[in-house]
Amino acid sequence: MPEVKLEEVRRFMEDSLKAVGTPESEAKAHADLLMHADTVGHYSHGLNRLEFYINDCQSGACVPTAKPEVLKESGATAWVDGHNALGATVGNFCMDVAIRKAKDCGVGWVSTKRSNHFGMAGYWALKAEREGLIGMAFTNSSPIMVPTRSKQRALGTNPIAMAAPATGGDKLVVDMATTTVAMGKIEVQIHKEEPIPQGWALGPDGKTTTDAKAAFSTGRLMPLGGEEKTSGYKGYALSAMVEMFCSGLSGSKSTHNIRGWELTSTQGPPDLGQCFAAIDPECFAPGFAERVADCLNTYRSLEPVDPALPVLAPGDKEDKIGKTTLAKGTINYPEKQIEAMRVMAERIGVQPIQTVSA
């Protein structure tokens, strides 16, 4: 696969966002969000998503110059109107408010309406963790999940993210969709021309499929856990819980009323609901970071089934990939993805992304 230097990926992302009217500060913030995903190995939420943001800015679904606004607040809570700004603009505003309130009151809980896709949920939880706080982030999305026993979509990937600090710079990081996977991972399989695992999605006949293209065109992901017999109803319930935190508290559209997120969408702003929380562990029992570290070390020291595959703590895989990527200084992307970016670059008038061999 073609190899691209990290600084070149970032340059291309920033140039592309600025080309469609994004202020430089917000282009840098949004590029940082996308770079985080690719750096830690979640390619579904990095460069793979750039053209969606570009097209939303061009269609008016996203307003790249907009500024979020607090509509109502208490000592520990805030209700925000994102004014259809970029997801990174809304996310940084809301998590900054949550962090400030957590430092003042012990807890900060912020819910926002009229936002756009905010990338990896874990990115926002980590923003609070770097301040010594427990961070959490949630979002609803376009309808893509089929609830247990249903043939129709009604919920989204509706991710759950949490990051908690431990001693020695260690941390626990949970970041997961409440569907089996995010739709972006199916897109990546299409780029790689590989099948998807059984249980990820339904095909047009309402049965599970391993055909990535069929799964993408049908657009019906299964809840975390898969079928009812493998406890898929738990993923369904978790997705519904996230929905209450997001649309329920913010007054945004509920997932079943949100338009689809396609490259050619002309249906206007999605009005996503999102929730950001920060908790100061110092307001509770002493020794929080030490207890987190003890748990992490316990998990990692467990005897593995396969000696070649050690037991990992949540977040370890991403942390290791991130360090390796930064040391290497490059990222490999499928040729089809690079070509798609070249076509987009020509369309919006920016210098195409340059591969190492170019």
Instruction: Copy the structure tokens of residue 195.
Output: 């099948």
Position 126 confidence tier, pLDDT thresholds 50, 70, 90: very high
Q: Cα(86)–Cα(102) distance, rounded to whole angstroms?
A: 24
Question: Parallel, antiparallel, or unpaired: how do β-strands 107-115 and 77-81 relate?
Answer: parallel
Q: Would you state the pLDDT for residue 262? A: 75
The lowest-confidence range among 43-47, 119-123, 184-188 is 184-188
* CB 196 within 8 Å of CB 212: yes
The lowest-confidence range among 45-59, 253-267, 282-296, 308-322 is 253-267
pLDDT surpassing 90 at residue 354: yes
pLDDT surpassing 70 at residue 30: yes
Quick one: fold of 182-220?
Wheat Germ Agglutinin (Isolectin 2); domain 1 (3.30.60)
pTM of the predicted model as reported, rounded to 2 decimal places: 0.94
Q: Kindly state the average pLDDT of the residues 201-221.
A: 92
Q: Kindly state the average pLDDT of the residues 171-178.
A: 97
Position 147 confidence tier, pLDDT thresholds 50, 70, 90: very high
What residues have CB less than 8 Å from 24, skipping those under 6 apart? 14, 18
pLDDT surpassing 70 at residue 339: yes
Q: Where are the domains of the chain?
A: 1-59+319-358, 66-180+229-314, 182-220
pLDDT surpassing 70 at residue 358: no
Q: Would you state the pLDDT for residue 263? A: 77
Mean pLDDT of the chain: 96
pLDDT surpassing 90 at residue 350: yes
- Nearest partner of 13 among 322, 4, 124, judged by Cα: 4
**pLDDT tens string 233-247:** 999 999 999 999 999
Q: Does domain 66-180+229-314 have CATH number 3.30.1370.60?
A: yes
pLDDT surpassing 90 at residue 185: no
Percent of the chain with pLDDT over 90: 91
Q: Kindly state the average pLDDT of the residues 65-90.
A: 98
Vertex 102: Cα angle to 101 and 103 (nearest 5): 90
How buried is 209 (Cβ within 10 angstroms: 0-12 exposed, 13-18 middle, 19+ buried)? buried
- Nearest partner of 172 among 70, 333, 37, 296, judged by Cα: 296
Q: Cα(65)–Cα(311) distance, rounded to whole angstroms?
A: 45
The lowest-confidence range among 157-161, 198-202, 245-249 is 198-202
Q: Cα(263)–Cα(57) distance, rounded to whole angstroms?
A: 11
Q: Would you state the pLDDT for residue 58? A: 96
For 1-59+319-358, the fitting CATH number among 1.20.140.10, 3.90.930.12, 1.10.1530.10, 2.40.50.140 is: 1.10.1530.10
